[in-house]
Amino acid sequence: MRDVVVGTAGHIDHGKTLLVKALTGTDADRWEEEKRRGITLDIGFATLATERGTLHFVDLPGHERFIKNMLAGATGIDLCLLVVAADESVMPQTVEHAEILELLGVRRGVVALNKIDLVDAETRGIAQLELEEFLAAHGLGHLPVVPVSAATGEGVRALAEELFRQAQSCPEPPKDRPFRLPVDRVFPVKGFGTVVTGTCVDGALAVGEQVRLYPRGGSSRVRGLQIFGRPVERAAAGQRVAVNLPDLKHEDLRRGCLAASPGSVSPARLLTVRVRVLPSARIPLRSGVLCTLHLHTQELEAHLHVRARKELAPGEEGLAQLRMAEEVAAWPGDRFILRLPSPVRTVAGGEVLMIARRKCRWQRERDARSAAALAGGDGLAGLLIEAGPAGTDPEEVAARLGVTLPLLEIEARRAEASGRLVRWGEGRWWLDGAEAEAWLRRAEAWVKSKVQGGSPVTWVPRQELLGRWLRVLGAERGADLVSALVEAGRLEAEGDRLRLAGYTAQLTPAQRQAAQRVRAALASRENPVQTGRELEAAWGPEVRSVLPLLAESGEVVRFGGDCFLASETLARLRDLLLAWSAAHGGAITVPEFKDLLGITRKYAMPLLEALDDRKWTRRDGEGRRILLKAEA
């Protein structure tokens, strides 16, 4: 049997602490005031180790003023020990504690009918009937009831046997999850530094490993571990653990921190949750109401926003979002309690479905899809849909789902096979399947609008496409999108250019005639360089629409903004420069260059600058140095 955490619950002065002492031999009250007043003010701890296994007891306060301490201690308990005094029977805190345990999902446990030594047989029988009716009314009728007297020891052995029997049925915690320990105590130890304690709720931790404190805290190497005063090298889920973190100052930490594996938690101010209002709540919970959120050992204010409704009536359940002013550290599946601050009472609780990144607008199509996925138990799909067109990455997904990367990969493969997940950029960028297809359609439509517009171009610059969505995607994911478009066969890539797969420009008869006229005009040696404006004036407005296509195909070369020459002319110019270099030592002036090609200075200067860009020439004073070399 693994170590099991047992949490006591019940009304004040019903004998919880004395019963724990009778079971374990340890007085769980730590403070002098607790001993003086005879009531538990804060969480106490004790352990019962036998050959059958180990039970870790967390003694929870029963007074209504210390419910927040009770909730902090209820984190991670596997079994409840509900204590009811036979001389008082069911009392208000008995009811509230039972409701809290139900909301936290604690379904296993034992009920101790305590103080049987103070009542006669008839009163004891009435108390047991009342207790059984109460348990049945609160969905706890399956819990065994054991009569006991902590003062005389009667029934204590039978109670311990029943606790061990119930502990046998506690499931093993999930394997391969990152380590998590909600901190319920922080204190310094001279010569060792800061120590934090709590119940390990997930994973395992070993001496020498790194731990980070969430939502806002530093990290430290683990110097030592103890389980109820016994040094150990490793602690695992279900154990009460003291962790020595020498690299942190105890003044910077407090109850409510979460010690966890570095990078395994994604703190947030928004939680998408499933919430259930207690039937005993006297009023409905209206959307926007301010509540006190108790999650693990964390306690903070939160506004509740109910999905698509104005309120949840007592006994109702629904999706909602909790919005906090401070960050909270949580994973999907974590249970929580909501209490109203005035008058203070427990009214609801539920389960975290998603660590949200933005406020839900339930009427929006994307948020509605995400909510539907979460309601159906598909946390990965809900997260991907919420991420939208920007997508996410596997490290963030793992932290928001509370799983290790190997476990996430198993789920990702299933989602990928069903089309719910698409991975681009060698797995760096994860998208919802519908969102990925929308990106492909969106980018393809944009390229189509560019090439099928007024100018019959075939190719578009890659950077022009990326620049359109740079703010949303960034450079890296933009490059991944282009790669996905090419891999999907939607686009073809050639260097820094993109075009629709298999696309060829369609010219009108007028455009074909204009293209022939441009070719003929630029082939003339009398006027080998002309501007687009000059060509348009000579041959009509259709010239302007075909010039980009001729430049794209390489038939003409564009330079200096609006100057054009035929590619054959550029090849001839190369030969002329090589011949000049051989005859004149590699230097040429602007007037000599003009005469070489038979053009005016208006065209010579921008053409020389274009040749500088091509590394054919280099500026040298007022002239140029020819860099071309004859091919061997």
Provide φ and ψ at 437, rounded to 5°.
-65, -35
| CATH topology (fold) of 4-168 | Rossmann fold (3.40.50)
What's the average model confidence in pLDDT over 2-12?
A: 83
Token pair 């100057």 is found at 563
The band of 64, judged by pLDDT with boundaries at 50, 70 and 90, is: very low
The band of 71, judged by pLDDT with boundaries at 50, 70 and 90, is: low
Q: Which two tokens mark 53? A: 């296994």
DSSP state of 65: G
Distances (CA, A) of 518 to 7, 521, 534, 542: 89, 5, 11, 10
pLDDT of residue 224: 94
H or E stretch covering 135: helix 121-137
Cα–Cα distance measured from residue 130 to residue 86, given in angstroms and rounded to the nearest whole number: 10
pLDDT of residue 506: 65
Cα–Cα distance measured from residue 536 to residue 551, given in angstroms and rounded to the nearest whole number: 15
The answer to whether the pTM exceeds 0.75 is yes
What's the average model confidence in pLDDT over 425-430?
A: 91
- Give which of 482, 480, 453, 452 is closest to 465, Cα–Cα: 482
pLDDT of residue 450: 78
**pLDDT tens-digit series, residues 502-516:** 766 666 677 778 888
Cα–Cα distance measured from residue 46 to residue 26, given in angstroms and rounded to the nearest whole number: 6
- Which amino acid does the sequence have at 451? V
Cα–Cα distance measured from residue 18 to residue 535, given in angstroms and rounded to the nearest whole number: 103
Considering the chain, tell me which residue range(s) the CATH 1.10.10.10 domain(s) occupy: 509-632
268-355: which CATH number, 1.10.10.10, 2.40.160.20, 2.40.30.10, 2.20.25.240? 2.40.30.10
Cα–Cα distance measured from residue 371 to residue 388, given in angstroms and rounded to the nearest whole number: 13
**pLDDT tens-digit series, residues 563-617:** 999 999 999 999 999 999 988 888 999 999 999 888 999 999 999 999 999 999 9
pLDDT of residue 417: 94
What percent of the chain clears pLDDT 90, i.e. is strictly above it? 44
- Give which of 590, 587, 616, 615 is closest to 602, Cα–Cα: 590
Count of CB atoms situated within 10 Å of the CB of 376: 10
Provide φ and ψ at 421, rounded to 5°.
-135, 135
- Taking a C-beta distance cutoff of 8 angstroms, is the pair 473, 390 a contact? yes
Q: What is the DSSP string of 344-385?
A: EEEEEEEEEEEE-SS---TTSHHHHHHHHHHHTT-HHHHHHH
Cα–Cα distance measured from residue 242 to residue 246, given in angstroms and rounded to the nearest whole number: 13
The band of 104, judged by pLDDT with boundaries at 50, 70 and 90, is: confident
- Give which of 387, 405, 274 is closest to 332, Cα–Cα: 274
pLDDT of residue 32: 44
3-class secondary-structure state, position 547: helix
For the domain covering 180-260, report its CATH number. Answer: 2.40.30.10
Q: Which two tokens mark 279? A: 């039937």
pLDDT of residue 61: 66
First vs last Cα of the chain: how many Å apart? Answer: 84
Considering the chain, tell me which residue range(s) the CATH 2.40.30.10 domain(s) occupy: 180-260, 268-355
- Taking a C-beta distance cutoff of 8 angstroms, is the pair 275, 318 a contact? yes
CATH architecture observed for domain 509-632: Orthogonal Bundle (1.10)
pLDDT of residue 29: 52
Considering the chain, tell me which residue range(s) the CATH 3.40.50.300 domain(s) occupy: 4-168
Tell whether the model's pLDDT for residue 482 goes beyond 80. Answer: yes
